[in-house]
Amino acid sequence: MVLNMRYLSLSKTGIWQFRYQIPETKRELFEGRRELKRSLRTTDISHARMLALEIELSILKQINGNSKTENSSFALGRTQPTITASSKPASAPDTAKLLDMYCEYKANFVSEKTLEGQRAKCRIVLDLLGHKSIRRIRRRDAELVQQQLYHFPSNAKKNEDFKSLSNAEILSLNKQLRRTSLSEGSVKDYMQKVSSFFEWCMQNEYTDVNPFKSLKFRKSARDRDSKNHYSMEHLYTIFSNEGFNKKPFKHTYQYWLPILAYYTGARLNELCQLYTDDIVEVDEVWCIQIRAVREDQRLKNLNSERTVPIHQQLLNLGFIEFVLQKQSGRIFNELSLQRDGYGTLASKWFGRLKKRLGFGNGFDFHSFRHTTATNLKNKQVNVDVAASLLGHSTKSITYDRYGKNHEIELLYDAINKIPELPVLVPKLRF
């Protein structure tokens, strides 16, 4: 058997990664996962091929055996064949080494961008702690570094004042300069990420306590007040600008993405990665299938996979005709695949547009998603139906585990309760 090289990819740090798409009919054998990811922990391609072949064989045995076997833990990347109970180290590695080990483990489950963000935040905290032995870091240390972070500058690496300084030196200097510091929400995020790191250290018996667990934070606003949505006045500003009414669009995504986001509530990358065969008719209703069935498609979580009926106004604007004239392939093929998916260029474009239109911080492309949720709520759409449309969990075992998908007709009626845009958007000429 020859390993298909498409299962191998090289991370930014030069480590080979294994990725395998699980057929939909076999996902129950792998705890419902759509994809298996595992760091091969090697920079050597020959060694990577050998390891990947072993994992692929393990996966195929489980699939062909059609039952859960002891191979599943290996295929899921949970085994540590070189470490046994009798070989547990007498003393823990230093915190820098432990962080590297933790990130290698996390690489199996999160995107590279998410992993690098977590690594950077953990490194700042560990630097401020002075890289003590992991077993010497206690609750008082955690509370102290939490207070220090309130004085740590936001975007420190982008500020010339802090160039080439260590994190401890940055903290000390900013107490004098008083540049904008981390917000309450940012400090909480730092602490949660470090807490996850310490939980892993505990599970692997490198320490006996997680001093960052259950730290207290002030709640300065309700969850719904911390997110901005677009009012009708905001929407008029966006869709009445000359880009939608006078000048021809340089790229078709610049026309369709904001409109699709308003009428579907889909995330930016969910829209950017659509293929023509993701647009289907279900019970005579045109729908968008939000899914990850290809290697270049990804979803935020399991609940994100869904089918969203297409709003009547999208049909009136000619969205189906636009898709059909593409024939096959990606719908917005002018967008290139980058580290974070296909949405990077579109996000930068919209960022420039909203800034030019006078929108400040707190408003971005994701605000369309909050706008859709607000519209559904104001139209008194059942919360479970809204969750199905937006790809959220209902946090109910009855519905999430045992309930099946809503009927398309019910979803179609709900999505069409979203009010029309407050400005007449002309059809895109193509």
Helices (H), 276-382: 312-316, 319-324, 344-356, 367-378
Residues 393 and 245 in one domain: yes
Helices (H), 79-227: 95-106, 112-128, 139-149, 167-177, 184-203
Residues 120 and 71 in one domain: no
Residues 70 and 103 in one domain: no
Enter the pTM of the model.
Answer: 0.61
- With respect to residue 427, please indicate whether it lies within any of the assigned structural domains: no
**Closest to 425 measured CA to CA, from 202, 242, 211:** 242
Residues 361 and 245 in one domain: yes
Residue 146 CB partners (closer than 8 Å, separation 6+): 187, 191, 215
Q: Which two tokens stand for residue 22?
A: 């699980």
User: At CB < 8 A and 24+ separation, what contacts does 121-124 make?
Assistant: 121/189, 121/190, 121/193, 121/194, 122/193, 122/194, 122/197, 123/96, 123/99, 123/167, 124/152, 124/167, 124/190
- With respect to residue 423, please indicate whether it lies within any of the assigned structural domains: no
Residues 159 and 284 in one domain: no
Of the candidates 23, 47, 79, which is a domain's last residue?
79
- With respect to residue 227, please indicate whether it lies within any of the assigned structural domains: no
Res 80: pLDDT = 41
Of the candidates 31, 55, 79, which is a domain's last residue?
79
- For residue 182, give its domain range: 95-203
User: Digits of tens for pLDDT over the chain (430 positions)?
Assistant: 444 556 788 776 667 788 888 888 887 777 777 788 888 777 777 788 888 888 888 888 888 875 444 444 555 554 443 333 333 444 678 899 999 999 988 887 777 778 889 999 999 999 999 877 899 999 999 999 999 999 999 988 888 889 889 999 999 999 999 999 998 889 999 999 999 999 999 988 899 999 999 898 876 555 445 568 999 999 999 998 876 766 677 899 999 999 999 999 999 999 999 999 999 999 999 999 999 999 899 888 888 999 999 999 999 999 999 999 988 899 999 999 988 889 999 999 999 999 999 998 889 999 999 999 999 999 999 999 999 999 987 655 445 544 446 789 999 999 999 999 998 888 876 5
Q: Taking the C-alpha atoms of 95, 97, 99 and 105 in order, what is their torsion angle to the nearest 10 degrees?
A: -140
Residues 240 and 353 in one domain: yes
Of the candidates 46, 79, 112, which is a domain's last residue?
79
**Residue 14, Ramachandran bin (φ over 0: left; ψ between -120 and 50: alpha; else beta):** left
Residues 264 and 384 in one domain: yes
Query: Bridge partners of 279?
Result: 288
Say how many domains are in the chain: 3
- Helix then strand count (H, E) for the chain reads 18, 6
b/e string for 280-305 if b means 16 or more Cβ within 10 A?
A: eeeeeebbbbbbbeeeebbbeeeebb
- With respect to residue 393, please indicate whether it lies within any of the assigned structural domains: yes
- With respect to residue 226, please indicate whether it lies within any of the assigned structural domains: no
Contact 35, 292 (CB under 8 A): yes
Residues 199 and 244 in one domain: no
Residue 421 CB partners (closer than 8 Å, separation 6+): 235, 239, 259, 262, 313
- With respect to residue 377, please indicate whether it lies within any of the assigned structural domains: yes
- With respect to residue 296, please indicate whether it lies within any of the assigned structural domains: yes
**Residue 196, Ramachandran bin (φ over 0: left; ψ between -120 and 50: alpha; else beta):** alpha
Q: How far apart are the first and last CA of the chain?
A: 47
**Closest to 7 measured CA to CA, from 30, 47, 35, 42:** 35
Burial of 324 by CB count in 10 Å (0-12 exposed, 13-18 middle, 19+ buried)?
exposed
Residues 287 and 394 in one domain: yes
Residue 207 CB partners (closer than 8 Å, separation 6+): 92, 134, 135, 137, 198, 201
Residues 359 and 239 in one domain: yes
CA distance 3 to 423: 54
Residues 156 and 289 in one domain: no
Residues 64 and 154 in one domain: no
- With respect to residue 244, please indicate whether it lies within any of the assigned structural domains: yes
